[in-house]
Amino acid sequence: MAHIIDRRLNGKNKSAVNRERFLRRFKSQIKEAVTKAIKGRSITDLESGEKVSIPVKDISEPVFHHGQGGVWDYVHPGNEEFIKGDKINRPQGGGGGGGKASNDGEGEDDFVFELSREEFMSVFFDDLELPNLVKNQLIGLEEWKTVRAGFTSDGTPTNINVVRSLRGALARRVAVSAPTLSQLSEAEEELDTLLESDEDNDIEVREKRRNIHALRERLSHIPFIDPFDLRYNNRVKEMKPTSKAVMFCIMDVSGSMDEAKKDMAKRFFILLYLFLERNYEKIEVVFIRHHTSAVEVNEHDFFHSRESGGTVVSSALNLMKEVVSKRYNPAEWNIYAAQASDGDNWDSDSVNCARVLDDFLLPVSRYFAYIEITEGEPQNLWYEYLKLQPSHPHFAMQRIHSAADIYPVFRELFKRQPNHAAAR
Amino acid sequence: MKTPISTGSEWTFDLVERYNHAIREIAVDEFKLDVYPIQLEVITAEQMMDAYSSVGMPVNYHHWSFGKHFVATEKSYKRGQMGLAYEIVINSNPCIAYLMEENSMTMQALVTAHAAYGHNSFFKGNYLFRSWTDASAIIDYLVFAKKYISQCEERHGVDAVEQILDSCHALMNYGVDRYKRPQKLSMAKEQARQAEREQYLQLQVNDLWRTIPKRGKDGSGHAAPRFPSEPQENLLYFFEKSAQLLEPWQRELVRIVRKVAQYFYPQRQTQVMNEGWATFWHYTILNRLYDKGLVTDGFMMEFLQSHTNVVYQPPVTAPWYRGINVYALGFGMYQDIRRICEHPTAEDRDWFPDIAGAPWREVLEFAMKNFKDESFISQYLSPKLIRDFRLFAIRDDDQEDKLLVEAIHDESGYREVRSHLAEQYNLGSREPNIQVWSVNMRGDRSLTLRHVMHHRRPLEAASANEVLKHVARLWGFNVRLESVDEDGEVHHLYECKVDSHVLAMA
């Protein structure tokens, strides 16, 4: 009788390894595609996968085969009109139209396939070493929830974990009594030998008995449970996401912010967005760009329009203040901001910036990051901002020179602050 | 009149069981098909794609190219460009046939008849499979191979393993013995002998190189003995035994790929016969089911539609013409052989005096067992079938301006058409004839391969150069490939020099 087996449940994703091998082999091409995709995508749209196209010649597996030329005989079906000896023109594209011609013919198109969202993200994060990101906590979040996290040797009696404690006690008793037990069995054996011998050895026997008694005594004194054995359920506090957050992206779009700099800023904003997305159910993004004056724009204009002009950074900060006051009540919203600039500001304006931050924006923000994208020396804005740092631990500033700095800088900005970290 | 087994299109395990039972009664009891025990496995579309991309085997080692095929299959499947092949069957004992869960009951019955009884009996009966593959050991062997390769990956890194596998895959078609019969594969034997083999082989290779005569030592100045003494057609075997720089584990990888290539070689030689046989039997069996009143008219309609699609042969003028459909040709030939037995015409008696009027079941069995595509066609393709297909032969000579119609489906053309079509299925002439020619034993140890040109057909140069790099990786020294024309003159020379970079990879 035939065996009928339902295989549908096992062996799912069996091809995952081969697929992973395939992606691994074409990593550089895939990375390129992902990088390109990120340029073209909006900050909030990272949900879907991405089409990747690899030239067929890179992906082909070569084998020896015939090229065109020489003499070939082909048999075909469906003859309508020919008779023996007819001469006919070669079909376009050569080769006599047999199986061989198609071998070369299909070589033109690229090999296109789709990355799943997970694959897309993993390539994206691969660049950025993001997996560590989840370990980071934003500072300044005040809502916590407690979650179980294993066991500790210290705690309140209500949290004692009985099973763990007894298991520990048993282990301790076995360990502590082992030497005494072996002494005891030795002594008992010796006593037996003494008793069996015919010699007169009462004193020795008595001595042994006393010894055995002492050992038993010692064993009985090993406590059944010791404070050392106690284990407590450990509970740690974890940040509880509050439901709403808004992220302000503020960018200097003066002439000196070229495409490369904007691209770096964009990557930074994407990271910030992904990070916040993990913590909040709802997240909004506000784009503010500025040169001498600031406007709120959509994402496309934010990254793509080029306007030249001088720079008055405070205009953007004032606009943010205005938007916050109108739409994002700090009591309800978790406010984040990232400001990207090459730092070149109208001289006397930097003082204004510091003042707006100090007076209004920093007190209402959960976190405010300033990234200066520049190759040269820090500019005056940087020095002005530097003064704010001591009094505002959630104001962070970093400098980015090249795309490679984005992640380390992001990490630095968002690293866990020891004094605010969750209790362990 | 019996009642049909089922009336709806949904399948259940119970129904699959009952159809299988009914099919078995017809296939085995009535028509005497000799089959391996059958294991039917219900799988998902994803699993089908997976099986598809790792050359149909349920177990296989990991390789990026299988991932590539999976991605490609998935892409066209999702876009709806391609219906999944609704059947995969494995030449193993027990014979494993896959039923895809999306199939209707009719399709499950069709697949069961086609794969589990058609292909299965072909695997068990055909002489190529009997002598070249061991159905009871293949799964075990692949388990061994998979384990061994993943151990290599742990020890030497995925990249190092991948490189060797890539090179072996490029030469897979040249990793088969065409005439010798290999030893049977089995995991137990493989494992037991593997360590021993590693050492022994390495010793042998070293000996080979140690026995190079020292120049002028005995003053005789004899030419070095030619190595290899005769040209070698099995390139992978040659590298496994003679490539000096391969590590023992690399030799084992070469061997694994070679063994797998050898296992699939009969399949490549019997496409027309094998698909034709399976198609003939699903057609015959399901019609029998209908005659016995076990299936409904609706079942037959669905089955016939699917069957007709499978055996459709577009004419050469159709835009979607992609050569001869092996299902159509094979099915047509077995049907035709049966017809010649049962209702021979005068022409049939003339052409096939031995089988005209003979018992069809025996004739068919003999034809299935003792041929491969090439000889099968040259033995059994009848004038009637040539007419039915309106076959004609064309000569494409690159020295002529025009193509020449050599023969058509008429009295004077039958034999010529038949012999050309048979030749078309001759792997030996479809694939370039490339053999190991010589090794420069006294000098740089460079290896020369020879491509013996047939009908002035050249190699495709770009891929030849690529493959040669793989050859060089396995050989470890410079390699050359000479295309030699029929007069023995070198027509074209391909070369790949091994620099230290390639050596480091080897």
Please state, for a pLDDT cut of 90, what percent of chain B lies above it.
67
Q: Note whether A64 contacts B62, CB cutoff 8 Å.
A: no
Residue type, A395: F
Given B420, B461, B466, which is nearest A73 (Cβ)? B420
Tell me: do B474 and B439 sit in the same domain. yes
Q: Is B398 in contact with A19 (Cβ distance < 8 A)?
A: no
Per-residue tens of pLDDT for chain A, all 424 residues = 567 888 887 666 677 888 888 888 888 888 887 777 777 777 777 666 778 888 777 788 999 999 989 999 999 999 988 999 999 998 765 444 443 333 333 445 688 888 887 777 777 666 554 333 333 344 344 556 677 777 887 777 778 888 888 888 888 888 888 888 888 888 888 888 888 877 777 788 888 888 888 888 888 888 888 877 888 888 777 665 566 788 899 988 877 778 888 888 888 888 788 777 766 778 889 999 888 888 898 888 888 776 767 778 888 899 999 999 999 988 878 888 888 888 777 778 888 888 888 889 888 888 888 888 887 778 788 888 888 888 887 787 888 887 777 766 776 666 544 444 333 3
Please, what is the angle between helix B138-156 and helix B187-210, to 10°?
60
pLDDT band at residue B192, thresholds of 50, 70 and 90? low
Kindly state whether residues B56 and B88 are assigned to the same domain.
yes
Q: Are residues B436 and B425 in the same domain?
A: no
- For residue B463, being part of any structural domain is answered with yes
- B100's CB contacts (< 8 A; 6+ apart) are B42, B43, B44, B45, B48, B84, B86
In this structure, the answer to whether residues B76 and B24 fall within a common structural domain is yes
Which tens digit of pLDDT belongs to each residue from B316-373?
A: 999 889 899 999 999 999 999 999 999 999 999 999 999 999 999 999 999 999 999 9
Task: Give yes or no for a contact between A247 and A336, defined as CB atoms under 8 angstroms apart.
Answer: yes
User: How high is the pLDDT of residue B253?
Assistant: 96
Strand partners, A400: A373
**Do B37 and B17 lie in a common domain?**
yes
pLDDT value, residue B312: 92
Predicted confidence at residue B81, as pLDDT, reads 54
User: Which of A68, A79, A110, A115 is the best residue to mutate to test the B interface, defined by the most B CB atoms within 10 Å of its own CB?
Assistant: A79
Burial class (CB in 10 A: 0-12, 13-18, 19+), B236: buried
Put simply, the chain A residues between 375 and 404 with a CB less than 8 A from any chain B CB are: none
> Quick check: B457 and A72 in contact, CB under 8 A?
yes
Please check whether residues B412 and B468 belong to one and the same domain: no
Are B170 and A70 an interchain contact pair (Cβ–Cβ within 8 Å)?
no
Token pair in block for residue B407 = 């023969």
* CB of B505 closer than 8 Å to CB of B494: no
Is B426 an interface residue toward A (CB < 8 Å)?
A: no
Model pLDDT, residue A265: 84
Residue with more model confidence, B429 or B405: B405
Q: Does B350 touch chain A (CB under 8 A)?
A: no
Instruction: Test B391 with A77 for CB contact under 8 angstroms.
Output: yes
* Residue B399 in domain: yes
Mean pLDDT, chain B, as a whole number? 88
Peptide bond into A393 cis (omega under 30): no
Q: CB A311: neighbour CB atoms within 10 A?
A: 25
Q: Looking at the domain assignment, is residue B185 inside a domain?
A: no
Q: Is the pLDDT of residue B221 over 50?
A: no
Among B429, B449, B470, the domain boundary falls at B429
A87 interfaces chain B, CB cutoff of 8 Å: yes
Q: Nearest CA to A333 among A273, A248, A244?
A: A244
Q: Is B80 exposed, middle or buried (0-12, 13-18, 19+ CB in 10 A)?
A: exposed
Average pLDDT value for chain A? 78
The residues near A255 (Cβ < 8 Å, ≥ 6 apart) are: A306, A308, A309
Greatest mean pLDDT among A88-92, A316-320, B115-119, B486-490 lies in B115-119
Q: How far apart are CA B372 and CA B349, in angstroms?
A: 24
Token pair listed for A132: 């560590």
Same domain, B31 and B77: yes
Does residue B207 sit within a domain?
A: no
Q: Residue A59: its chain B contacts at CB < 8 A?
A: 68
Answer whether residue B303 is part of any domain.
yes
Q: Is the pLDDT of residue B56 over 60?
A: yes
User: Which residues constitute the domain of residue B368?
Assistant: 343-429
Same domain, B370 and B425: yes
Cβ neighbours of B460 in A, within 8 Å: 64-67, 103-104
pLDDT of res. A412: 66
Residue B403 near chain A (CB below 8 Å): yes
Does residue B66 fall inside a structural domain? yes
In tens, the pLDDT along A404-421 reads 777 667 766 665 444 443
Dihedral pair phi/psi, residue A310, rounded to 5°: -75, -170
Q: Which of B24, B72, B169 sits opposite A113 (nearest CB)?
A: B72
CATH superfamily of A245-420: von Willebrand factor, type A domain (3.40.50.410)
Mean pLDDT confidence for B470-480: 94
Name every chain A residue with its beta carbon within 8 A of the beta carbon of B43. Answer: 7-8, 11
Q: Is the pLDDT of residue B217 over 80?
A: no
Outline where B243-270 has alpha helix (H): 248-269
The arithmetic mean of pLDDT across residues B2-26, rounded, is 92
Within-domain flag for B147: no
Q: Which of B279, B307, B335 is the last residue of a domain?
A: B307
Contacts of A19 in chain B (CB under 8 A): 67, 70-71
Q: Which of A15, A57, A89 to mutate to test the interface with B (most CBs of B within 10 A)?
A: A15
In a shared domain, residues B452 and B419: no
Is B373 in the same domain as B444? no
Helical (H) or strand (E) element with A151? strand A144-152
Q: B411 and B359, same structural domain?
A: yes
Give residues 428 to 447 of B whose Cβ lies within 8 Å of A. 431-432, 434
Please count the structural domains in chain B: 3
Contacts of B167 (CB under 8 A, 6+ apart): B470, B471, B473, B474
Cβ <8 Å between B13 and A6: yes
Check if the beta carbon of residue A4 is closer than 8 Å to that of residue B16. Answer: yes
- Taking 3-state DSSP, the helix, strand and coil percentages for chain B, each rounded to the nearest 5, stand at 55, 10, 35
Residue ranges of alpha helices (H) inside B126-230 are: 127-132, 138-156, 158-170, 187-210
Query: Sorting pLDDT into bands at 50, 70 and 90, what band is B82?
Result: low
Look at A99 and B420 and tell me if their CB atoms are within 8 Å. Answer: no
Task: At A340, give phi and psi (nearest 5°).
Answer: -115, 135
Closest Cβ opposite residue A70 in set B49, B315, B455:
B455
Instruction: Express each pLDDT in B279-324 by its tens digit.
Output: 999 999 999 999 999 999 999 999 999 999 889 999 999 988 989 9
Q: A111 and B68: CB-CB below 8 Å?
A: yes
**Judging by beta carbons within 10 Å of its beta carbon (0-12, 13-18, 19+), is residue B224 exposed, middle or buried?**
middle
Q: Which residues of A touch B391 (CB under 8 A)?
A: 75-77, 79
Q: Do residues B375 and B350 share a domain?
A: yes
CB atoms within 10 A of CB B301: 11
Q: What is the model's pLDDT at position B203?
A: 67
A269/B221: higher pLDDT: A269
Q: Which of B429, B455, B488 is the C-terminal boundary of a domain?
A: B429
- In which band, very low, low, confident or very high, does the pLDDT at B168 lie, cut at 50, 70 and 90? very high
Chain B contact for A61, CB < 8 A?
A: yes
- What is the three-class DSSP state of B39? strand
Any domain includes B353: yes
